[in-house]
Amino acid sequence: MDSVKQMIARRPVAAFLLILYPISWILFVPSLLGRSGLGVLPVDVPAQAGILLVTIFGLTGVAFLMTRIADGKAGTSALRRHYYQFRAAPQWYLIAIFGAPVLLLTVAVIGRGGSALTPFGSHAAQFPTAYLMNLALIAVLISVWEEGAWMGFVTARLQRRWGPVLASIAVAPCFGFIHFPLLFITGGLIDNARPQGGQLIEYTAYLLVLFSVPVRIVITWAFNSTKGSLPVVALLHASIDTTASGAVLATFYPGIDGRLLYGAIALVAVAVIIATRGRLGYRSDTVTSGPALMTQVARA
């Protein structure tokens, strides 16, 4: 047992990944076997149930366990503080909540002109329920716990060694891969559908690289720039997911391919890298606190 703890203490991120995927994918099994998945079970187990279990018990649970073993109580206290880091400049909350829909609207206006604004005027009364309420629910139930692991634990450690850009790129496929079982569940990643045949390869590449890399870079920038605020990061993540959802696209962006949002985010990521000279808001004292964490600078 002592040798296992020593191994985890030396390589907490590697240990996190080795433990995370088996636990998380086991939690997806009921949804995979249900009628919306492989059809082995005669009942339908919603993918959202698996996502909630994976987020709380897989990602968050394993992240705190690895932190406790590697850094002790001081480490878990430092990680926990990120969940309560609400203090951030107002513009970061505005970016987190409205950045994604405004970005996609900008793309729509460039492509279609002023007519792209019409659905917003016609369905303005639906915006609080269709967008803001869903964003809040996803942020509280899913994103804050998800980002506590990927951003607060994994990326925060790796960027001290590799820098924020390389750390974000390294985390991107790991972040995407955790969602892989959802490709085989109707409504898992695609509303009322799942990829078939050649689409599976396309969506796998999309999940592991085309979507994940720019999103991770932008989220790292927000995290570092707000001194490690998981509430801001969770709202940003939830905003991206909500904006790309079928209901929001159909109501406010009819006829617009949701994948254009991720193309626009990629442009933002490039611009942020250039503007910050690759630092993405990172300072050694920004996201590191607690005496135990200070000894982890060389660890991966």
Q: State yes or no: pLDDT of 44 exceeds 90.
A: no
How high is the pLDDT of residue 6?
Answer: 83
Least confident of 16-30, 42-56, 253-267: 42-56
User: Is 32 a residue whose pLDDT tops 90?
Assistant: no
d(CA 146, CA 134): 16
Q: How confident is the model at residue 47 (pLDDT cuts 50, 70, 90)?
A: confident
- C-beta contacts of 115-119 below 8 A and 24+ residues apart: 116/253, 116/256, 119/251, 119/252, 119/253, 119/254
Q: What is the pLDDT of residue 163?
A: 96
- Give per-residue burial for 43-65: e unless 16+ CB within 10 Å, then b: eebebeebbebbbeebbbbbbbb
How confident is the model at residue 49, as a pLDDT? 80
For the segment 210-235, the average pLDDT, to the nearest whole number, is 95
Residue range(s) defining the domain that contains residue 213: 82-294
Residue 289 has pLDDT above 50, yes or no: no
Q: What is the mean pLDDT of residues 45-54?
A: 82
pLDDT at 35 over 70: yes
- How confident is the model at residue 105, as a pLDDT? 96
Has residue 50 been placed in a domain? Answer: no
In a domain? residue 55 = no
Residue 235's identity, in one-letter code, is L
Confidence check: pLDDT of 288 > 60: no
In this prediction, residue 295 has a pLDDT band, given cuts at 50, 70 and 90, of: very low
Q: Is the pLDDT confidence value at 96 over 50?
A: yes
Worst-scoring range by mean pLDDT, 72-76, 278-282, 285-289? 285-289
Provide the pLDDT for residue 292.
Answer: 40
What percent of the chain is predicted at pLDDT more than 70?
89
In a domain, residue 290? The reply is yes
pLDDT at 290 over 50: no
What's the pLDDT score for residue 97?
97
> What whole-number percentage of the chain has pLDDT above 90?
63
pLDDT for res 286: 53
Identify the pLDDT of residue 106.
96
- Number of independent structural domains in the chain: 1
pLDDT band at 296 (very low <50, low <70, confident <90, very high): very low
What are the pLDDT digits (tens) for 174-206? 998 888 888 888 877 776 667 676 667 767 776
For residues 140, 145, 150, 155, the Cα torsion angle rounded to the nearest 10 degrees is 80
Higher pLDDT, 2 or 144: 144
Whether 263 is covered by a domain: the verdict is yes
Compute the chain's Rg from CA coordinates. Answer: 19
Mean pLDDT (the chain, rounded): 88
Q: What is the pLDDT of residue 298?
A: 37
Is 23 within the bounds of a domain? no
pLDDT of 34 = 85
Confidence at residue 293, expressed as pLDDT on a 0 to 100 scale: 46
Amino acid at position 260, single letter: L
What does the pLDDT read at residue 2?
67
Q: Compute the distance between CA of residue 159 and CA of residue 121 in angstroms, rounded to an integer.
A: 43
**Residue 46, in any domain of the structure:** no
Q: Is the pLDDT of residue 218 over 70?
A: yes
Asked if the structure places residue 17 within a domain, the reply is no
Range 133-141 average pLDDT: 95
Classify residue 100: in a domain, yes or no: yes
Q: Say how far residue 104 (Cα) sits from the centre of its chain.
A: 18
